[in-house]
């Protein structure tokens, strides 16, 4: 497995976008939320996982809690071949699904201020007046 294969896989998810951040980290995002970080100069990979998967993965060689975000159950693979491709695909998919669910939930739960039907009615000359 290599950087190009991981990049292609991550970009295949609906709504996935990439952004180069922090120097050499290629970040894959859904709705602005990162689901995978891929180091380019020193190939390494970070992704979010479930608490059980996190506990199991960090017991393996070349896998550790990711710096800064390990407490949120992100792992770092110090080598891209620390896991087999089939297992890695499943873990990346799981990361995408967890992050997407939270990102999309947050997006749908936000209230828009100062808009909507009330403004439209006032613009059309109907409703919304305090004068009666």
For 44-54, the pLDDT digits (tens) are 999 999 999 99
SS (H, E, C) 59-107: CCCCEEECCCCHHHCEEEECCCCCCCHHHHHHHHHHHHHHHHHHHHHHH
Dihedral in degrees, nearest 10, Cα atoms 80, 7, 47, 21: 110
| Whole-Å CA distances, 32 to 14, 19, 52 | 13, 10, 26
Q: How far apart are CA 22 and CA 24, in angstroms?
A: 6
Query: What is the CB-side half-sphere exposure of residue 38 using CA atoms within 13 A?
Result: 24
The CA distance from 123 to 131, in Å, is 16
| DSSP single-letter state for residue 116 | S
Residue keyed to tokens 């110090």: 78
Binned at pLDDT 50, 70 and 90, residue 22 comes out as confident
- pLDDT over 80 (residue 21): yes
- Residue 12 pLDDT class (50, 70, 90 cuts): very high
Kindly report, residue by residue over 67-112, the tens digit of the pLDDT: 989 899 999 999 999 999 999 999 999 999 999 988 877 666 554 4
For the chain, the average pLDDT equals 83
Selecting from 1.20.210.10, 3.30.1330.10, 3.90.1150.30, 3.40.50.720, what CATH number does the domain 3-123 have?
Answer: 3.90.1150.30
123 has pLDDT over 50: no
Q: What is the pTM of this model?
A: 0.76
Chain segment 100-120, per-residue pLDDT in tens: 988 877 666 554 444 444 444
Residue 73: count other Cβ atoms within 10 Å of its Cβ. Answer: 21
The Cα 38–Cα 47 span in angstroms is 9
- The domains of the chain are located at 3-123
């Amino acid at each position: 497995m290599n950087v190009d294969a991981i990049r292609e896989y991550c970009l295949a998810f609906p709504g996935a976008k990439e952004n180069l951040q922090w120097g050499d980290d290629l970040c894959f995002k859904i709705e602005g939320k990162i689901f995978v970080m891929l180091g380019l100069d020193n190939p390494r990979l970070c992704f979010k996982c479930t608490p059980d998967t996190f506990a199991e993965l960090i017991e393996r060689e070349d896998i550790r809690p990711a710096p800064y975000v390990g407490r949120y159950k992100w792992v770092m693979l110090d080598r891209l071949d620390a896991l087999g491709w089939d297992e890695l695909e499943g873990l990346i998919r799981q990361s995408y699904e967890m992050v997407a669910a939270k990102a999309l939930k947050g997006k749908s739960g936000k209230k828009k201020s100062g808009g909507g039907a009330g403004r439209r009615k006032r613009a059309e000359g109907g409703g919304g007046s305090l004068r009666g």
